[in-house]
Chain A
C-alpha cells in the first residue's frame, strides 16, 4: 500500500490522470478496431516535430526564471529565417540549414534584449514573458505586411498586400529531415532524420549542462546568493540561458515546419508556448527543476495523447472533443504547476 502511495506522490495526481486517460484511449482504440501502427507512427512524428520547442523550456527553468512563456519570440525569428531561405530559393538540406543560419542572428539579438528585460522584472518573468511572446507575434503581424519579400511563393499572387498566411515549403525544405533514413514497415512509418535531429539536441543540451557554463547556469537557478559568492556572473548566465532558449525555439519551429510542410505566419505562433509548457510539466518538470528526460517523457505522453484522442474519441462521441481535451489537459497542467512551486510565493 505504501508503495502505491509513494508512486502516486511521486507522479502527482494530474500526471496520473493523464496517464490513465492515455491508457483508456488505447484500450478504446484496440477495442474499436482502429489500426494502431499508423497512430503510433503519427505520434512519433509529432514528438519529433514538437520536441525541440519543449527542449527550449529547459535553460530558463534551470536558470531560475521559470517556464519560457515568451517562446513565440524565438518562433518568429525561426519563421523569419525560413522566409529568407525561401526568398533565396535554397532547397533541400541547404534550404533547411540556411533557414537556421539566417534565423540564429535574429534569435540571438532578440534573446539578448529579452534577457535584459527579464533581468529587470525578476519574480514576474513568466507573466512578462507571455506578453513579450504575444506582442512579438502582434508586431510581426505588421511586419509581415510590409517586409520587402519578392519571391512569388511568399507574397500573394495578385492584388493582396504583404505575405501569405501559410507558405508551402514543398519546393524548399519540406520533409528533408523526416524523409532522411525514413523507415517504413507496412503502415508504420518512422521519420528517422527528424527523431535523430531531436535526439541530437537533447544530447547537446545534456552535455552543455555538464560544461562550466552549464553548471554555472544551474548554480544560478539553484541559489543565486551562493552563485554570486562563488564568483559566477549571474546576469551573464541568465542571458546565456535565455539566448539558448530563444535559439532552440527558432530551430524548433524550423524543424516543425519542415515536417508540417508549411510556414504559418500571422497569428499562427501566438499560442505555441502553451503546448510546449504543458508538455514539459506533464513530463515531471516543475517551475524550478527540469531535466532532458522530463522533456522526452512529457513530449511523448502529450503528443501521443493529442494524436490518438481525435480518432479515438470520434468513435465514441459526436463533436470534436479532442481540441477541448487538449485545452483542458494542457492548461489544467499549467495551473496545477503554478499553484505548487515554492510554498511561500514568489516574493
Chain B
C-alpha cells in the first residue's frame, strides 16, 4: 500500500472526530478563550464524564448498539445516594468517602437487577434494541418519579425537612450533597497546578476502568461477547448462549453506569433529583459518537477522545455564539443540536452502510 492512500484512509476512517476537532478549534479561536480556563474545565469534565461514556462500550461490542438504558444505572446510583444522604442528615456520622462507598455498595445490586430486566426485555426486541432501551429509560423515569415524588413520605416512611417538599411527600428538586459526599473521590488525591485543579484520584479510577475493560475484552467471556456482536446465529450454532451473553453485557453496562453516575454526582455536588439522570444517556452517547464510534464498533480511545471533543464543544459554543452572533443562547442551542444531530447522523450512517 502506498503511503498516500494510507494517509487518505486514516482521514476517512476518522472523519467524524476530525470534523468535530475542526469545529472545536474554530470555536476556540472565534471565542478567543482563555486556555487555562478551557484546560481546567476539560480536565474536570474528563474526570466527571468518562466513566459514564466508557460504560457504553460493552453493549456496542455485544451487538446491542448504543445502550440508552444506562439511565437506569444512573437512577440506581441516585436512589442509593439519596438514601445515604438521608441517613447522614438524620444523624449518621460518616465521612464523605465512607458515604460514597456505601452508596456504591447499595447502588450495585439495584443496577444489577435493573440491568437484568433491561437485558431480558431487549432480548425480546432484537433489531430494535436502541429505541426499546430509550423508551425503557423514559418508562423507568416514570417509576423513579413515582417513588421519589409520590411514594416517599406517603407509602415509604421518610421524614427529612431538608430533603423533602414542605408537604412531607416527595423529594425537593435538588438534594445538596456537597458536605455529605461531595468530592469524596476527588479529594483523595488532588493536585493544584496554577488555576487548574486536577482530581488525580478520579482520573486514576477512570484509567483503571480503561485497563480493566481492555483486559476483560480479551478474556473468554469478552471474546464470547464479541462473537455474539459479530453474528448471533453463528455464535448460537457454536454453542454460545446468545441471550445470556446479551444480558451479561447489559448488566455490566448498567452497573458501570451506576458507578459512573456516582462519580459524576460527587464531582457536581448536588443531585438534581428529577433531571440529573435524564440526559445522562444522551450526552454520553453523543460523546462516544463524536469520538468516532458507531453502533457496531466502539473503543476505549474513541470514548476518551469523544469526551474531550464533545465537552470542548460544550464549553466553547455559548462563548462562540456570543462572539459570532452576539447571542449566547444560539451557542447553547447549537450544542444541544450537536448532541441530537450527531446521534441522528451516526445512526443514519450506520444503518445506511448496513443496507448497502
Contacts and interface: CB of A to CB of B under 8 A. Distances in A.
A338 interface: yes
Given A124-B347, A346-B126, A327 B330 contact: no
Interface in B324-349: 325-327, 329-330, 333-334, 336-337, 339-341, 343-344, 347-348
Given A138-B337, A327-B141, A341-B128, A335 B121 contact: yes
A170 interface: no
B347 A128 contact: yes
A98 B287 CA distance: 42
A142 B340 CA distance: 13
A128 B351 contact: yes
Contact of B146 (A69, A137, A139, A328): A328
Interface stretch (A32-40, A255-263, A314-322): A314-322
B108 to A, nearest CB: 25
Contacts of A162: 327, 329
Contacts, number: 145
B132 A135 contact: no
A contact patch SS: helix
B207 to A, nearest CB: 32
B347 A131 contact: yes
B5 to A, nearest CB: 27
Contact of B142 (A69, A318, A328): A328
B355 A123 contact: yes
Contact of B337 (A141, A334, A335): A141
Contacts of A145: 327, 329-330, 333
Contacts of B131: 69, 126-127, 130, 338
- The interface size bin for chain A is 35 or more
Contacts of A139: 337, 341
B355 A120 contact: yes
A319 B326 CA distance: 42
Contacts of B348: 117, 120-121, 128
A145 B330 CA distance: 7
Nearest to B146: A324
A212 interface: no
B132 A339 contact: yes
A130 B125 CA distance: 17
A324 to B, nearest CB: 5
Interface residues of B, number: 46
B150 A319 contact: yes
Contacts of A132: 344
Nearest to A318: B169
Contact of B138 (A122, A319, A327): A327
A323 B141 CA distance: 11
Interface in A126-154: 126-128, 130-132, 134-135, 137-139, 141-142, 145-146
Contacts of B128: 126-127, 338, 341, 345-346
Nearest to A334: B135
Contacts of A332: 139, 142
Contact of A121 (B132, B146, B150, B347): B347
Given A69-B131, A128-B347, A335-B135, A134 B340 contact: yes
The 6 closest A-B pairs by CB, nearest first: A346-B127, A345-B126, A327-B142, A131-B344, A121-B351, A328-B142
Interface of B: 121, 124-128, 130-132, 134-136, 138-139, 141-143, 145-146, 149-150, 154, 167, 169-170, 325-327, 329-330, 333-334, 336-337, 339-341, 343-344, 347-348, 350-352, 354-355
